[in-house]
Amino acid sequence: FADRDGYIWFDGEMVPWRDAKVHVLTHTLHYGMGVFEGVRAYETPDSGAAIFRLQDHTDRLFRSAKIMGMKMPYSKEVLNEAQKQVVRENDLHEAYLRPMAFLGSEGMGLRADTLQTHVIVAAWTWPSYMSPESLEKGLRIRTSSYTRHHVNIAMTKAKANGNYINSMLALREALDCGCDEALLLDPEGYVAEGSGENVFVVRDQVLYTPELTSCLDGITRKTVMQLAAEFGYKVVEKRITRDEVYVADEAFFTGTAAEVLPIRELDGREIGSGSRGPITEQLQSQYFDLVRGRLAKHAEWLAPVSQ
């Protein structure tokens, strides 16, 4: 992934992709203290490539940094512009963007008071997070043997680098068992989220999603909750048990990378009809229309990279 053409924004400059390097004593590489975002830009009919909910992602990056006690060396405005610039200068029409703030190689050890925060923004084409068929057919998932972080162990409101060790263990276990994704439970045994997605279930035309206690405050989650409310569906945030998922009419994941992905099976139990449910389909299609600028509403969520 490092050996390719293009540019990465690195501490205020556009650096050729192959030269965007750090030292092996980079602090974040050793201890995992860093924060990042996953953002997408889509091609829109009127304004070319536009970044979906750019300000919300930048705001969350700064909240993550605050939680982790990292001082951001650039303003939100500079990072918004950096994200537009990487899409423009890499000539991308649709892109996944990765802003990340990390601690450098100015010192070692946990005390590390000499450290500085560095920031990169990379962007590349990443059409579909899972197989393209899964958008229609849905995923087979399993309850993970790994528990989602307790709120006083890792800070679940922060999209922090080190938190993803837990996600990777859970995903690896699910893939090794022939599934597509993991469902992680919180330390009390209630449904939290996927390895990189929030989760929803639908029962009797009502949508349910876990409260934010031990899952990430997902931007796609918030978007889908709003779209569902606009369709007139009731949306309830509450504790959900794994057996509630077994007997749901529909279930789906949401995430910037994953978008809106149906879940067709959990722990060998078919969910609903065993394929994408009608409400999932309606919300998925509305989501794609929204991010690609095909809806009149919520134009404020699209930030054209040309402006």
Question: Is there binding between residue 262 and ligand PMP (CB under 6 A)?
Answer: no
Q: Would you say 250 or 259 has its CB closer to ligand PMP?
A: 259
Q: Give min distance, CB of 5 to ligand PMP, in A.
A: 27
Contact 64, 161 (CB under 8 A): no
Beta partners for 12? none
Q: Would you say 23 or 238 has its CB closer to ligand PMP?
A: 238
Beta partners for 270? 265
Contact 52, 43 (CB under 8 A): no
HSE at residue 220, side-chain half, CA atoms within 13 A, is 27
Q: Would you say 7 or 52 has its CB closer to ligand PMP?
A: 52
Q: Would you say 83 or 256 has its CB closer to ligand PMP?
A: 256
Question: Is there binding between residue 259 and ligand PMP (CB under 6 A)?
Answer: no
Q: Which 198-217 residues touch ligand PMP, going by CB under 6 A?
A: 198, 215-216
Q: Which 9-38 residues touch ligand PMP, going by CB under 6 A?
A: 38
Question: Is there binding between residue 196 and ligand PMP (CB under 6 A)?
Answer: yes
Own/partner contacts of 19-26, CB < 8 Å, gap of 24 or more, are 20/120, 20/122, 22/102, 22/104, 22/105, 22/118, 23/104, 23/105, 24/105, 25/105, 25/108, 26/102, 26/103, 26/104, 26/105
- Which ranges of the chain would DSSP assign to H, the alpha helix? 27-31, 54-68, 76-89, 134-137, 164-176, 219-230, 242-246, 278-291
Per-residue contact flags (x/-) with ligand PMP for residues 144 to 183, judged by CB under 6 A: ---------------x-------x----------------
Question: Is there binding between residue 277 and ligand PMP (CB under 6 A)?
Answer: no
Q: Would you say 7 or 163 has its CB closer to ligand PMP?
A: 163
- Give the span between the Cα atoms of 262 and 272, in whole angstroms: 11
- With vertex at residue 164, the alpha carbon angle to CA 199 and CA 248, rounded to the nearest 5 degrees, is 15
Q: Give min distance, CB of 266 to ligand PMP, in A.
A: 17
Q: Which 216-255 residues touch ligand PMP, going by CB under 6 A?
A: 216, 218-221, 254-255
With a CB cutoff of 8 Å and minimum separation 6, the contacts of 283 are: 224, 227, 228, 231, 252, 260
Q: Which residues are catalytic?
A: 159
Q: Give min distance, CB of 301 to ligand PMP, in A.
A: 13
Q: Give min distance, CB of 126 to ligand PMP, in A.
A: 13
Query: How many amino acids of this chain bind ligand PMP (CB under 6 A)?
Result: 16
Binding site for ligand PMP (CB under 6 A): 38, 159, 167, 193, 196-198, 215-216, 218-221, 254-256
